[in-house]
Chain A
Amino acid sequence: MSNEKKERPKVMRSETGTPKKRGKLEVSLGWFLILHLSLIVNSMAGAASKMAGRQKFLSLKFFFFYGLVLVITFAFALVWQQVLKHMSLTFAFTNKPITMIWGIIWGVLIFQEKVTWNMLLGSGVILAGIIIGVSGNE
């Protein structure tokens, strides 16, 4: 039965024709950077959302920060649709938890939040997972 199945090619070729081997990124470096820039922008929505949550519900400041969340979300949406044209959804999603690490950075810089050891350890494990998952282009 398994003989009838088509063997997956060992080396895949991207649209540009560059051979892509196992362990290499599934996208060009340019789109990989755009993906990460969009994820940084996306993580800022979390900070704006936290600011909105700190305001009195339905107050002017609440609407300002909630509006900021919407603007950031909209900007992210524009870029995300282009990002998805260039890579698989699972690849893009494998990079997404990096936003948690950016969240810590915004938390420290904007809200003077304390960073705990489990947050640092967790970030390290998340980063390792991303690196392994992203390079898993078999």
Chain B
Amino acid sequence: MSNLGKYIAIWMFSVFISSVAQVMLKVAANKTYDKKIKEYVNPLVITAYGIFFLSTILTMYALKFVPLTMSPIIESTSYIFVPVLGVFMLRERISKRRLLGMGIMVIGIFIFTL
């Protein structure tokens, strides 16, 4: 059981670093560039995709030990990570209504996986 917990933790870490990468993409998207290509070829975007790649490797590794049916539940933690990072790192405002919507979404994901 504790072994399973370890691999779930690895998976959740993978979801967390993906959420950080999403924030990096948004930071890159907020900047203006003189050339279109630079919207994609810049350190932030390249690092973000490097993180996504690492994340897929970690997820695949975790999947060897964690049942796939748990995937939506573990992946749904991104709906907690992203708004938190959005508020603290991007200074995005989240209305109560949107928070409510996200909460309902997570409940929906749980029902889905039951």
Known A81-B29, A89-B90, A137-B95; judge A122-B109 contact (CB<8 A): yes
* Mask of A112-124 contacts with B, CB within 8 angstroms, 1/0: 0000001101111
Q: Is the CB of A90 within 8 A of B112?
A: no
Q: Does A85 contact B (CB under 8 A)?
A: yes
Q: Write out the residue numbers on chain B whose beta carbons fall within 8 Å of the beta carbon of A85.
A: 29-30, 39
Q: Is the CB of A81 within 8 A of B83?
A: no
CA distance A118 to B95 in the complex (A): 29
Q: Write out the residue numbers on chain A whose beta carbons fall within 8 Å of the beta carbon of B100.
A: 132-133, 136
CA distance A123 to B72 in the complex (A): 12
- Summed over the interface, the residue pairs from A and B with CB atoms below 8 Å come to a total of 130
Classify chain B's interface size: 35 or more
CA distance A84 to B92 in the complex (A): 13
Q: How many residues of A contact B (CB 8 A)?
A: 39
Q: Write out the residue numbers on chain B whose beta carbons fall within 8 Å of the beta carbon of A137.
A: 95, 98
Tell me the dominant secondary structure on chain A's binding face.
helix
Q: Does A41 contact B (CB under 8 A)?
A: no
Q: Is the CB of B108 within 8 A of A118?
A: no
Known A88-B92, A122-B109, A125-B108; judge A81-B82 contact (CB<8 A): no
Output the least CB separation between B45 and chain A (Å): 7
Q: Write out the residue numbers on chain A whose beta carbons fall within 8 Å of the beta carbon of B105.
A: 94, 97, 125-126, 129-130, 133
State the A residues within 8 Å of B (CB): 8, 22, 73, 77-78, 80-82, 84-85, 88-91, 93-94, 96-97, 100, 118-119, 121-138
State the B residues within 8 Å of A (CB): 22-23, 25-26, 28-30, 39-40, 45, 49, 52, 72, 76, 78-79, 82-83, 86, 90, 92-114
| Chain A to chain B contacts (Cβ below 8 Å), 8 pairs | A81-B25, A88-B26, A90-B92, A97-B79, A129-B103, A130-B105, A132-B104, A133-B104
Knowing that A129-B103, A131-B101, A133-B101 are A-B contacts, what are 8 other residue pairs whose CB atoms are under 8 Å apart, sorted by A's residue number?
A81-B45, A82-B39, A84-B25, A94-B98, A97-B76, A118-B114, A125-B105, A129-B105
A-B complex: 3 closest residue pairs judged by Cβ atoms: A133-B101, A122-B112, A136-B97
